[in-house]
A and B are shown apart, each in its own frame.
Chain A
Amino acid sequence: MAYSDKVIDHYERPRNVGAFDKNDQGVGTGLVGAPACGDVMKLQIKVSPEGIIEDAKFKTFGCGSAIASSSLVTEWVKGKSLDEAASIKNTEIAQHLALPPVKIHCSVLAEDAIKAAVADYRKKREGQV
């Protein structure tokens, strides 16, 4: 099947591949998907004391659309507040990457990954208070 140019671009030059120390108090980690389903995304955000996402990293096991979706959202969340990041919708991701219907679940997973990373970070902060 044919991938869009944007998917190919993100697949071939993925942005922000890598990992932060998941025990760092300023880092939120979201791990979503399942190996048995053929998709696992790990998205990490590094958050400033002011609550702004300064940096993001990802690692993804999955098809080209899954890799592209996670690569794209690492770009989108940077500079955003936690609430702004958590409000990114899968439809925006799918639209931007021109994902076909069978690949919509990749964008859903990317949205879930952001929400999971934000939730993880918030949980850590609550634990500190």
Chain B
Amino acid sequence: MNDMTMTAEAKAMEHATRSNEPKKPVYLDYQATTPMDPRVLDAMMPYFIEKFGNPHSRNHPHGWEAEEAVEKARKQVAELIGADEREIVFTSGATESNNLAIAGVARFYKDRKNHIVTVVTEHKCVLDTCRHLEQEGFEVTYLPVKPDGLVDLEALKQAITPKTALVSVMAVNNEIGVIQPLAEIGRICREKGAFFHTDAAQAFGKIPLDVNAMNIDLMSISGHKIYGPKGIGALFVRRKPRVRMIALIHGGGQERGFRSGTLPTPLCVGLGEAAAIAKREMAQETERLTKLRDRFYDSIRKRLPEVYLNGDLAHRIPGNLNISFAYVEGEGLMMGIKDLSVSSGSACTSASLEPSYVLRALGVEEDLAHTSLRIGFGRFTTESEVDYAADRIVEAVQKLRAMSPLWEMAQEGIDIKSIKWAAH
């Protein structure tokens, strides 16, 4: 329709439709990182130039000012998990926290205990740290998960021995968003006398966490997953009963000797502010994100057959979906939705051609694992964004299925598994 023939009403409608369209590209990868909340940046700004002091300078006002800000931030972080502020160690991020917690505890207790229990779906920084410890002579048990992504508590009980120093189970999985039964795991660990570490990078600020009620001894925390700055994280280290660790970074003995180095005051303030906002807004944000998630997922399922959710839906943070779109390869799909920033479970770009190890651990078949997308919603996601994203994904999947030989076979009733494929 050109402008000459378009009625005023049609024009107005077209304008309304257009103005309802979200700004592109649409960001739907909130498990990878989050934008900073402007309120967080506001809180940080004074500490770059004006209040630049070294928080460890104990003998002048510039130092005191910075120290006060850092200690306030430490309290804000502690309050979100029911901890004492003296139990919070600032680090560069959750990767460092996980390294420190696992290697630090293992090495301290190595004369008495030499065993670690963890789970196959953990983040690489946990698994890789465990691999290194194996090379140092530690024994590591990697527990499988059930098809819903949750750890089997009986298997966990069986795995813990008197030699187990540490059990490390993530709170929320980064790919599939499932929430592990932390309170039950904590109870088992306490009964068996093993420390319980949880990587809470994807959970802190998203779900209620209480280190005492859940018997958590160590907890890794990230700033940039909760609308705070990148480059800052924290490790909760329990004081009673005391958890001891050997530091990874040596120097001036800051952070109770666990982590030397001058604290980055603005980043600490940012993490603290982000935690405080998360504490205030968690309930309403959870409700809003659940609605958006359901709206998106319903819209997809209504229009597309053969889509499969990976990981349990009930025990899941609302900001995550991980969906396999059968017969459509994930990276090819991503190319068809270029103005959506989502993540693919297919690893077609990697040299190994292995799909996600997390999905494989759930028992998702390799061919389905190649068809998965991780879609992450967050604080700044809008209804028009999820509607737009659902439309684009449906279009792309339909187009790619029309050109998929596997979809064609499925329509003809041919079982893909009956074919003898030549691996390449």
Contact = CB atoms under 8 A, between A and B. Distances in A.
Interface of A: 1, 3, 8, 11, 14, 17, 19, 31-42, 58-64, 66-67, 102, 105, 108-109
A116 to B, nearest CB: 10
6 contacts: A35-B367, A36-B370, A38-B330, A41-B405, A61-B406, A102-B349
B416 interface: yes
A36 B421 contact: yes
B331, B332, B349, B351: which has the most chain A beta carbons within 10 Å? Answer: B332
A62 B406 CA distance: 10
Contacts of B365: 36
Contacts of A62: 329, 332, 348
A102 B351 contact: yes
Most chain B Cβ neighbours within 10 Å, of A11, A31, A36: A36
B332 A63 contact: yes
B402 A17 contact: yes
Interface string B3-40: 00000000000000000000000000000000000000
> Closest 3 interchain pairs by CB?
A35-B367, A34-B421, A36-B366
A59 B405 contact: yes
A35 B349 contact: no
Interface string B245-281: 0000000000000000000000000000000000000
B335 A11 contact: yes
Q: Chain B, interface size: which category?
A: 20 to 34
Contacts of A31: 405, 419
Contact of B404 (A38, A60, A63): A60
A104 to B, nearest CB: 11
A40 B335 contact: no
Contacts, number: 93
The CB with the most chain B CB atoms within 10 A, among A11, A32, A38, is that of A38
Contacts of A3: 335
B402 A35 contact: no
A36 B403 contact: no
Contact of B405 (A36, A60, A63): A60
Nearest to B416: A35
B63 to A, nearest CB: 47
Contact of A66 (B332, B350, B423): B332
Interface string B355-381: 100000000011100100000000000
Given A1-B349, A32-B424, A64-B332, 16 more contacts: A3-B335, A32-B422, A33-B422, A34-B424, A35-B370, A35-B406, A35-B421, A37-B353, A37-B366, A40-B405, A42-B405, A58-B403, A60-B403, A60-B404, A67-B403, A102-B349
B408 interface: yes
Nearest to A71: B403
A107 to B, nearest CB: 12
B366 to A, nearest CB: 4
B335 A19 contact: no
A35 B406 CA distance: 8
B76 interface: no
A42 to B, nearest CB: 4
Contact of A38 (B335, B346, B419, B422): B346
Given A38-B353, A38-B370, A67-B332, A61 B348 contact: no
Contact of B423 (A11, A19, A34, A63): A34
